[in-house]
Amino acid sequence: MVLSACALNSSSSKETSESKSKKVDNAAGVVSTESKKYEATDLSALPDKTKARKDTFIAGISAPGGVFLPYFYENGWDGNATDPIFAPLVNLDEEGKPVGILAENWDVSDDQLTYTFHLRKNLKFSDGTPLTADDVAFTLTLLHDPAYAGYQDISLAAIKGGKDYKEGKAKSIEGIKVIDPTTIEITTEKVNAKSLLLLGGQILSKAYYGKDYQYGKLDYLKDLYSKPMGAGPYKFEKYVPGQEIRYEANENYYAGKPKTKHLIYKIIDSTTSLQLFETGELDYAGFSADEDTVEQLKSLGFASIQTGPVNDFGFIYINNTRPQFKDKEVRQALIYGLDRQKIVDVKFKGFGQVANIPVSPVSWAYNDEGVNKYEFNADKAKDLLEKAGWKVGLNGIREKDGKKLIIHYLTSKADDPVIPIAKENYQDIGIKFEPEIMDFNALVSKLSDKDYDLATVSTSQILDPSDPVEELATNHPNNSAGYSNPKVDELIQKGLSTLDIEKRKEIYHELYKELGKDPAFILVHYRQSAKAISGQIEGLNPDNYTGISSSLPNISIKK
């Protein structure tokens, strides 16, 4: 799982459109997928800094780590930063349906094992060099290299011969066949619901990223992390750590040079993003929705506003490799003993709900019927801890085998409401809770090394219901929770082994029930966001699957 990437009362404001809403029952009340839009009403109120920009669009981004290469970053903000630079063969539209980008179209064989991609004619990378099927083959080969240890688990696609290549038994991958410069055929060995997106991801230039490639040696790519070059709508210009990432429109983009010449991702602190938007430092910013923020944005007059559910969820990792967390009763007690509703109320002020299953309510797979919802129950938590052998000792802290139940909690937010609530809740059930606030990238590093007890994160945008649960598979390379459950392993695979959505719904519902019995982490919240767009910006349509990246080529500034 790539962590924490985002999609990046006034009488003068009026609600101009409202989408159809869907509501489903949830223990915390009603989960609403309703979205609302409010158009800007007074462009004369635009800040002078905004009016002065004639060819530049500025959006906020939180904490990039500087690894600007698809498949190799660990920080989801780097994913946001690379999206303008690298184009995929296939992407998702605003409804989550696949659409061709670099691929004009594709064919899938009757047995659903062979994919043939037909690339658009005359594709080029931003440096003017041709983009061909050879680049697609190189990208997929790189992901099979034994030295590759990134977030993309290409083995899920089961390309024929991929395992042999990875193990050094073959010098090429049998299932990858370049038919001609615009056609590539990829044969897989098992049906996988995610194969289309796995095979149709962002394309790397063989000439640029493969010129120094040697099997089993990928360290050379680190020198190119800060020098990205792709076939997306924008080309990389400059990265100033802690300040901004600058881009320039790519004249070689397949759909034509973007309408707005310059793109800037300004690195911001979430506590200052509203102020920066108000003063014209940003053309676009996303906020955790709350009534005060929405009303303040409306009062500006120059802001177009969208509110609605975010296609992610927030949770707290539990390090299942720690001895004290191996018993599921302890993990269950951590959930029962935490007032998650209070956390949601404090954090989102009516614009969030308690999460009970690891998928967003906007997903077709959402179904929490019959799932243990772990409503706050301190007495139940105490009973479970007693059952697991943790007895109350000196100072009210539970002990077992001479070890005190002390939990270290990692967060990147100084105002994290989990801290005061968990301190009080866990003290009540005999657990000492010790928070530590750190830089987000340092937190990600500790997760990767399993050097933590509890750590709070949010998922990236969920493209498929398998995304948030795949890493829970016992042998997954990015199993940061250190979780292992044979039944969960089986259901994860079953959920990917059919393209039939109705069958997949049933499988994921069963998986959610099993995770309710044997929890891997503490689910905390679903949230809504408020997205603010400067009224002079046209063509920007943030969605729940690609954020703002799909809109970037179409953004223009009203004259």
Q: Which of 193, 224, 255 is the last residue of a domain?
A: 224
Judge contact between 344 and 353, C-beta under 8 A.
yes
Judge contact between 433 and 427, C-beta under 8 A.
yes
Higher per-residue confidence, 437 vs 76:
437
- Cross-strand partners of 306: 37, 531
Q: Which of 189, 224, 259 is the last residue of a domain?
A: 224
pLDDT digits (tens, 9 = 90+) for 83-104: 999 999 999 988 888 999 999 9
> What CATH number corresponds to the domain at position 336?
3.10.105.10
Query: Is there a single domain that holds both residue 365 and residue 325?
Result: yes
d(CA 483, CA 519): 9
Query: Is there a single domain that holds both residue 442 and residue 472?
Result: yes
Position 148: which residue type? Y
Identify whether 5 is part of a domain: no
d(CA 122, CA 145): 29
Query: Is there a single domain that holds both residue 300 and residue 332?
Result: no
Query: Is there a single domain that holds both residue 328 and residue 252?
Result: no
Predicted TM-score of the model (pTM): 0.76
pLDDT digits (tens, 9 = 90+) for 374-431: 999 999 999 999 999 999 998 899 999 999 999 999 999 999 999 999 999 999 999 9
Cα-based distances in Å from 258 to 119, 233, 254, 283? 20, 6, 10, 17
Judge contact between 333 and 429, C-beta under 8 A.
yes
- Cross-strand partners of 57: 263
What is the SS3 assignment for 248?
Answer: strand
Identify whether 31 is part of a domain: yes
Query: Is there a single domain that holds both residue 141 and residue 263?
Result: no
What is the SS3 assignment for 33?
Answer: coil
Give the model's confidence band at 348: pLDDT under 50 very low, under 70 low, under 90 confident, else very high.
confident
Identify whether 331 is part of a domain: yes
pLDDT of the residue at 33: 57
Give the model's confidence band at 505: pLDDT under 50 very low, under 70 low, under 90 confident, else very high.
very high
Query: Is there a single domain that holds both residue 427 and residue 510?
Result: yes
CB proximity list for 111: less than 8 A, separation 6 or greater: 191
Identify whether 78 is part of a domain: no
pLDDT of the residue at 318: 98
Place of tokens 């400059």: 238
Position 284: which residue type? Y
Identify whether 79 is part of a domain: no
Give the model's confidence band at 349: pLDDT under 50 very low, under 70 low, under 90 confident, else very high.
confident
Question: Exposed, middle or buried, 6 (CB in 10 Å: 0-12/13-18/19+)?
Answer: buried
Distance of CA 61 to the CA centre of its chain: 14
Query: Is there a single domain that holds both residue 151 and residue 128?
Result: yes
Position 139: which residue type? T
Query: Is there a single domain that holds both residue 29 and residue 118?
Result: no
Identify whether 287 is part of a domain: yes
> What CATH number corresponds to the domain at position 187?
3.90.76.10
Give the model's confidence band at 559: pLDDT under 50 very low, under 70 low, under 90 confident, else very high.
confident
Which among 302, 303, 305 has a CA at the least distance from the CA of 43? 302
Domain count, the chain: 3
pLDDT of the residue at 97: 86
Q: Write phi, then psi, for 78 (nearest 5 degrees).
A: -65, -30
Strand order in the sheet with 403-404: 391-392, 398-400, 403-404
Identify whether 80 is part of a domain: no
Query: Is there a single domain that holds both residue 100 and residue 59?
Result: no
Query: Is there a single domain that holds both residue 523 and residue 535?
Result: no
> What CATH number corresponds to the domain at position 275?
3.40.190.10
Identify whether 490 is part of a domain: yes
Give me the count of residues in the chain: 559
Q: Which of 224, 252, 283 is the last residue of a domain?
A: 224
By residue range, what is the domain housing residue 405?
314-527
Cα-based distances in Å from 223 to 147, 151, 214, 299, 526? 16, 19, 15, 47, 38
Give the model's confidence band at 292: pLDDT under 50 very low, under 70 low, under 90 confident, else very high.
confident
Judge contact between 254 and 182, C-beta under 8 A.
no
d(CA 277, CA 308): 19
Task: Please give the structure tokens belonging to residue 197.
Answer: 């997106």
Which among 406, 496, 57, 456 has a CA at the least distance from the CA of 234? 57
Query: Is there a single domain that holds both residue 259 and residue 132?
Result: no
- Cross-strand partners of 434: 408
Does 211 score more than 60 pLDDT?
Answer: yes
Query: Is there a single domain that holds both residue 285 and residue 302?
Result: yes
In the chain, % of residues over pLDDT 70 = 94
* Ordered DSSP codes for 138-171: HHHHHTTSTT--SS--GGGG-BTTHHHHHTTS-S
